[in-house]
Amino acid sequence: MGRSESADVIEGGARLGESGKSNKIQRELDLRYGVNALDGRQLLPAGTRLDGDVMERLACSATTQWQQVSLLEYGTVRADLRHHLTSDGAYRNFFPDTVMSKGVEALMAAVMLPLPVLECLSFFRDNDHYTYRHVLTVFALYSLLAHDMREEMDTSSLDMAAGPLHDIGKICVPLSILRKRTPLQRAERDLVEHHAVAGYVLLTYYLRDSESFAARVARDHHERRDGSGYPLGIRLEDSQVEMVAVCDIYDALINPRPYRKENFDNRTALELITGLAEKGSVGWNSVRRLVAANRRDRPQPDACVVSLEKRGTPPAENSYGIFQEDGSEPPE
């Protein structure tokens, strides 16, 4: 077996920035795998170059007038979200009174999404509960931080939608890989990483806009400030995308994963994210916001002193980032 750079550091990885606006660098991604909708219909075949013209045509190709449904009112989403947040000790630090405290519920309740997108969430609920739980709790955590940032940032219900949609591209990853408990083959890891590009394609189609915040988050939430992420390894300059990415990292650490018997405890997770800021992989502003929201006295982020001391202990037997070197092809 071989090991990639750092198994724990890249877990839930992100690419980040400062401007709060779309990165205008020309991005031309080539699809290594085709992207299919949940019903199996192919949106784009493997080998497609995702240049501006292709993405514009894709956005315009969606002619169906899908029903728009409130995310919190869809199925059991509200009840499931409350259960996850109240049953997890780490999240009680962020939501000490009620799950939807401080006006966060109003932000989340305003999120309206096309029905096919919500059906993707149902797919995860029924087939991959790890991903389902993850997208909901990232949604809640980002909504809380965005609520606290509302006077500084141009947030809207459309911005909130990025939380539950950042991993929508995982409907294109075989369930056998998503639920795998042993080290991935490198070809399987390629398929997992493909979810970022697949999500960008799916949300461009369903939201009819390749520059929507949710589509950009799907594409960029595994990129890094220092250029060490994927799929392009560029330096993202968008502070709101960075906040979703940091929420993604935190939640991936403290919640169950198939490849890890134990979760990271709250302290160890925050220390690992602080370490990412020390290395320049994520920004200090985002880390301070996360840490401030986690503390009982809720200091202002600018006044929040983040300790650099590392006393936490990562869980044992974490197979994330470990690969089997067998040279096999990706499964169908």
Given a cut of 60, is residue 1 above it in pLDDT? no
Distance separating alpha carbons of residues 78 and 73, to the nearest angstrom: 7
Phi and psi at 247, nearest 5°, equal: -60, -40
What integer pLDDT is reported at residue 98 of this predicted model?
59
Q: At 327, phi and psi to the nearest 5?
A: 65, 20
pLDDT at 4: 34
Q: Which CATH number fits domain 2-324: 3.40.920.10, 1.10.3210.10, 3.30.70.260, 2.30.30.90?
A: 1.10.3210.10
User: Is pLDDT above 60 for 245?
Assistant: yes
What is the predicted pLDDT for the residue at 155? 59
User: Dihedral angle at the C-alpha atoms of 322, 170, 113, 225, nearest 10 degrees?
Assistant: 40
Long-range contacts of 285-293 (CB under 8 A, 24+ apart): 285/18, 285/239, 286/16, 286/239, 286/242, 286/243, 286/245, 286/246, 287/246, 289/145, 289/148, 289/149, 289/243, 289/246, 290/145, 290/246, 290/247, 290/250, 293/94, 293/144, 293/145, 293/148
pLDDT tens by residue, 251-262? 999 987 887 878
CB atoms within 10 A of CB 272: 21
- What is the distance between the alpha carbons of residues 119 and 67, in angstroms, rounded to a whole number? 12
pLDDT at residue 99 in the model: 55
pLDDT one-digit tens code per residue, 285-331: 999 999 999 998 888 888 899 989 888 788 876 655 544 554 444 44
Greater confidence (320 vs 264) lies with 264
Who contacts 303 (Cβ-Cβ below 8 Å, separation ≥6)?
none
Identify the pLDDT of residue 89.
82
Task: Count Cβ atoms within 10 A of the Cβ of residue 42 and give its class: 0-12 exposed, 13-18 middle, 19 or more buried.
Answer: exposed
Q: Which two tokens stand for residue 52?
A: 């501006």
- What is the C-alpha separation between 251 and 132, in angstroms, rounded? 12
- DSSP string for residues in 115-129: HHHHHHHHHHHHH-H
CA–CA dist 245, 13 (Å, integer) = 7
Report the alpha-carbon distance of residue 24 to residue 234 in Å, rounded: 11
Question: Which region holds residue 273: left if phi is over 0, alpha if psi is between -120 and 50, else beta?
Answer: alpha
* Domain layout of the chain by residue ranges: 2-324
The predicted-structure confidence for 100-159, as pLDDT tens digits, reads as follows 665 788 888 889 999 999 999 999 999 999 999 999 999 999 999 888 776 555 556 667
Each residue's pLDDT tens digit, 8-55: 333 444 333 333 334 444 467 899 999 999 999 999 999 999 999 999
C-beta of residue 74 within 8 angstroms of C-beta of residue 121 = yes
Average pLDDT over residues 73-85: 93
